[in-house]
Amino acid sequence: MQGDVYSRAGNAADPPSLYPAYRSTSLRAPLSAPIPIPQTLSEITGPLYGQADVMPEEADLTRQHGGEPLGERIVVHGRVLDEAGRPVPDTLIEIWQCNAAGRYRHEVDQHPAPLDPNFTGAGRVVTDTEGRYRITTIKPGAYPWRNHPNAWRPAHIHFSLFGPSFLTRLVTQMYFPGDPLFAFDPIFNSVPDPQVRERMVCHFDLDATEPEWALAYAFDFVLRGPAATPGDPDNA
């Protein structure tokens, strides 16, 4: 069936929707097995999510205010690929993240770290004909959360990918190499296979750094297949 080409259902890389160590999944996880709904023309042909309206400056989170945000300026770049390694163009990539001090500009985040008046923490970009994207931002900090005593999230950037239809969505988190918090993070560890977890960790990319300006990290998204990028446990 044509619609099945878009499905991520049964993606072996995805974490389970219920992972008790990640406490809130106990509240959100479905109690019954999902019911497959046949994909029809209305699901696989639309709507598009704003691909046409994305401005180039939206891919630079360091240029959204009058001054420059504090923190370590970085470039994150890579490609969106299908299960055969083919590039996926025209994918809307949205990101959100905390600032360098580990705080989100969101009313729910009230932990005692400073907000940065020059950093909102949201941006977007559309992949080009080669499936490539490139974002300039600030390296996010670790932050505490109340999942369990002394719980801290490793530094991460949230990503949402929208393809050509309503169903073509991947929501995931990207981590940075060598983070000492990996071993203690239930969200990272909700992906059971350690080798699959590594697919959520970007790679330092010296060739893509901008001398005197920014370090760079490479991160590819694989939408399906044996090398698929794991989804976020909230959205997998």
Q: Which of 77, 103, 156, 224 is catalytic?
A: 156
Catalytic annotation on 124? no
**Residue 186, token pair as written in the block:** 């239930």
Q: Are 185 and 153 in contact (CB under 8 A)?
A: yes
Q: Which of 79, 153, 197, 199 is catalytic?
A: 153
Q: Which of 73, 77, 158, 197 is catalytic?
A: 158
**133: amino acid identity, one letter:** Y
Catalytic annotation on 153? yes
Catalytic annotation on 19? no
Catalytic annotation on 148? no
Catalytic annotation on 158? yes
Q: Which of 104, 133, 175, 217 is catalytic?
A: 104
Q: Which of 6, 19, 133, 143 is catalytic?
A: 143
Catalytic residues: 104, 143, 153, 156, 158
